[in-house]
Amino acid sequence: MPARFDKLEGATRSLADAVAAELAGAAPLGVAYSGGVDSALLLALAVRALGAENVVALLGVSPSLARSERRLAHETAAFIGARVVEIKTHEGENPDYAKNDVDRCFFCKDELFARISDEVVAAHGLAAVAYGENADDAKRPDRPGSQAATNHRVLRPLSVAGLTKLQVREVARAIELPVADKPAAPCLASRIPHGQAVTPEKLRQVERAEEVLRELGFTDGRVRHHGDIARIELPTAEIARAAQDGVREELQRGVSAAGFRFVVVDLRGIQSGAFTLPLLQVGTRA
């Protein structure tokens, strides 16, 4: 079933129209796309405004993108009716990215936008490139990737049109996007503390450990990489389940098999920006 643009009415229609106004004259458009709700909604609204033939989803692929997220991104784009072009990115080869300072995301986004500029814009005759920053993201101090977007003149239609995260989800639900309520899924590198090198091996450990969480039925979860220790963040309502007989043993076994010696559950639950915000002296709760 394609996105239900006919379901837009009232406030959600006004928000969609505001995004469409920001996209006027931007065809053909490339959308930097991850498959999360922000970029998926932008992709859908671009298709609504410009037509599917004038929009292409640009999916950056590297070891920091979990395979499950890659599959879901393709499924969501197919639902929207948009074609996907995968772009191999090599941010891990950049020492400034690998050393994992608080500006790591800048180098990741800079790599993606640079490759789009160098390899994709001319090949697909793109007039513009956009990405899914929302109005809430624009206010956060832990989003250095936004500077890369500015440097490469990448459009941010959701943010400029004033859509908050809550409104993004409201419009996504209205058009029945399957990822409308999808939890945030930052890249795998975000699980490694700043100052500790990002390596393909660590990313694979995190990916496999988080697969275990999904296999055990947890609705969300992140595995923070602390050397031999896997620190698991779960929704607070699901923390107790991790200690239940059967689940506890499978969790220990599976995460240990991913390459960790110790497995712990963080009683604070899931924390957005857990590694970056403290260094910026900002509270860590999302």
Q: Do residues 17 and 154 share a domain? A: yes
Q: Do residues 23 and 126 share a domain? A: yes
Mean of pLDDT over the chain: 92
The tally of domains found in the chain comes to 2
pLDDT, mean of residues 245-250: 96
- 108 a catalytic residue: no
Nearest to 40 by CA among 121, 130, 118, 124: 130
Q: Do residues 156 and 205 share a domain? A: no
| Local confidence band at 273 (pLDDT 50, 70, 90 cut-offs) | low
How much is the pLDDT for 32?
97
Q: How deeply is 226 buried, as exposed, middle or buried, from its count of CB atoms within 10 A (0-12, 13-18, 19+)?
A: middle
How much is the pLDDT for 282?
46
pTM over 0.85: yes
How much is the pLDDT for 275?
60
How much is the pLDDT for 271?
86
pLDDT over 60 (residue 14): yes
DSSP per-residue letters across the chain: ----GGG--HHHHHHHHHHHHHHTT--SEEEEE-SSHHHHHHHHHHHHHH-GGGEEEEEEESTTS-HHHHHHHHHHHHHHT-EEEEEE--GGG-HHHHTT-TTHHHHHHHHHHHHIIIIIHHHHT-SEEEE---TTGGG-SS-THHHHHHHTT-B-HHHHTT--HHHHHHHHHHTT-TTTTPPP---GGGGS-TTS---HHHHHHHHHHHHHHHHTT-SS-EEEEETTEEEEE--GGGHHHHTSTTHHHHHHHHHHHTT-SEEEE-TT---TTTTTGGGGT-----
User: Domain range spanning residue 214?
Assistant: 188-279
Residue 41's CB: how many other CB atoms inside 10 A?
29
Q: Do residues 164 and 206 share a domain? A: no
Q: Do residues 232 and 165 share a domain? A: no
Q: b/e for 121-159, b at 16 or more Cβ within 10 A?
A: beeeebebbbbbbbbbbeebebbbbbebbeebebbbbbb
Which of 28-32, 44-48, 183-187, 248-252 shows the lowest per-residue confidence on average (mean pLDDT)? Answer: 183-187
Q: Do residues 196 and 103 share a domain? A: no
Whether residue 286 lies inside any domain: the answer is no
Mind listing the pLDDT tens digit for each residue in 70-107?
A: 999 999 999 999 999 999 999 999 999 999 998 899 99
Q: Do residues 16 and 150 share a domain? A: yes
Mind listing the pLDDT tens digit for each residue in 183-208?
A: 888 899 999 999 999 999 999 999 99
| Local confidence band at 277 (pLDDT 50, 70, 90 cut-offs) | low
Q: Do residues 79 and 161 share a domain? A: yes
End-of-domain residue from the set 132, 153, 175: 175
How much is the pLDDT for 182?
92
Helix axes 165-174, 37-50, angle to 10 degrees: 60
Phi/psi region, residue 45 (left: phi>0; alpha: psi -120 to 50; beta: rest), is alpha
Whether residue 285 lies inside any domain: the answer is no
pLDDT over 60 (residue 283): no
The encoded tokens of residue 243 equal 């200690």
| Local confidence band at 280 (pLDDT 50, 70, 90 cut-offs) | low
How much is the pLDDT for 272?
75
Catalytic residue among 185, 187, 189, 223: 187
Residue 251's CB: how many other CB atoms inside 10 A?
25
As a whole number of angstroms, the distance between CA 258 and CA 222 comes to: 14
**Residue 210: CATH number of its domain:** 3.30.70
pLDDT over 60 (residue 40): yes
User: 272 or 277: whose pLDDT is higher?
Assistant: 272
Which of 23-32, 95-104, 132-141 shows the lowest per-residue confidence on average (mean pLDDT)? Answer: 132-141
| Local confidence band at 139 (pLDDT 50, 70, 90 cut-offs) | confident
pLDDT over 50 (residue 285): no
pLDDT above 90 covers a percentage of the chain that reads 86
Whether residue 163 lies inside any domain: the answer is yes
How much is the pLDDT for 138?
85
How much is the pLDDT for 185?
84
Residue 127 CA, chain-centre distance (Å), reads: 24
Q: Which residues contact 139 (CB under 8 A, 6 or more apart)?
A: none
